[in-house]
Amino acid sequence: MIRSDIRALSAYHVQDSQGLIKLDAMENPYPLPDALRRSWAERIAETNINRYPDADMARLRQTIAEHEGVDPDQVLIGNGSDEIIQMLLMAVDAGTCVTPTPTFVMYDLISHWLKRPVASVPLNADFSLDADLFLNICNREKAAIAFLACPNNPTGNLWPEASIKKIADQFGGLLVLDEAYGPFADRSYVSMMRPNVMVLRTFSKFGWAGLRLGYLLGEADAITHLNKVRLPYNINSLTQTSAALLFEHFNVFEKQAADIRAERGRVTAALTGLEGVEVFPSQTNFILIRVAGAQKVFDQLLDAGILIKNMHGAGGLLSNCLRITIGSPAENDAVLSTFREIMS
């Protein structure tokens, strides 16, 4: 009944985090402030869940468009950016999907679900991107679509503008610049948008992971066609209501993102000072490190009640790598003191 290649896949595993300091999924550690939580509860209580949601999401598209300085018809909204990755892979021309490796796993995984061939371009040992190699592989594969996460997950770095521009200028297929970690990066590549370059964003890392809300910015004509493979009512009423309110308090989340960036600096400096820990520079809300015996270090952190992400199993450049989401100052202190004990 079920395709053999689907049977052969391992399910996307989400580790149980109950009772743990949860630093494995790049979430914002701050809950909603009390006053905002009360206004939110009132708005939610007024939402009519007996009716289907607004299918066109005109208001939400307008709000996002104003925020981004584009027209509302250049905005496609998804149930998380994951859903938009799926829509793109369903709708673009047949042909290979090219991604760097390592990168965000969903590009490859969804391609497999949809029987789209994939080709990987290895990053250099320092996680830099060889733009010429990337273009060569795109040409060799006659690629239809390519994804570049800017900044990249799980490596945390942001490839230089010149490399991205070179690829944008020379690639003949659709290039998707995934700015999921945009709120924590020094720069955005949104100005590179053109008919074959689209920009993907999400509110998940910004503090709204539970809402599942992402969006794609692109040329109006392509967005119109992509909307045809969007499931009707993909964004539920509670998410639409919540987003309308949260946009009125955007500065709360911008301040949190600034605090997270500052904490990232503090945690980076402290980990860099520990012997045996290699820390990679990050433009995101997480830090990738390499440490001998990563599995043991991961287990020791878990014993101390701290859940991070063990990347060692992916092998290759990620051997002995651990990914640590930046948490609240107290959570970060717990990480640092546990690390000091482990490494001493």
The residues that touch ligand PLP, with contacts defined as CB under 6 A, are: 26, 80-82, 104, 149, 153, 178, 180, 202, 204, 214
In whole angstroms, the minimum distance from the beta carbon of 89 to ligand PLP comes to 13
Angle at 204 (CA atoms; ends 7, 197), nearest 5 degrees: 80
Strands (E), the chain: 21-22, 75-78, 97-101, 118-122, 145-149, 174-178, 197-202, 214-217, 277-279, 286-291, 306-307, 309-310, 321-325
Which CB sits closer to ligand PLP, 82 or 263? 82
Which CB sits closer to ligand PLP, 26 or 301? 26
CB 122 within 8 A of CB 141: no
Which CB sits closer to ligand PLP, 72 or 214? 214
For residue 16, how many C-alpha atoms fall within 13 Å in the half-sphere facing its CB?
Answer: 2
Which CB sits closer to ligand PLP, 70 or 149? 149
User: How do beta strands 97-101 and 145-149 pair?
Assistant: parallel
In whole angstroms, the minimum distance from the beta carbon of 244 to ligand PLP comes to 18
In whole angstroms, the minimum distance from the beta carbon of 82 to ligand PLP comes to 4
In whole angstroms, the minimum distance from the beta carbon of 80 to ligand PLP comes to 3
Residue nearest ligand PLP (C-beta atom) = 80
Which CB sits closer to ligand PLP, 201 or 339? 201
Please give the Cα distance from 89 to 72 (Å, whole number): 22
In whole angstroms, the minimum distance from the beta carbon of 79 to ligand PLP comes to 8
CB 95 within 8 A of CB 109: no
Which CB sits closer to ligand PLP, 80 or 102? 80
Please give the Cα distance from 332 to 326 (Å, whole number): 7
Q: Map residue 45 onto helix, strand or coil.
A: helix
In whole angstroms, the minimum distance from the beta carbon of 204 to ligand PLP comes to 3
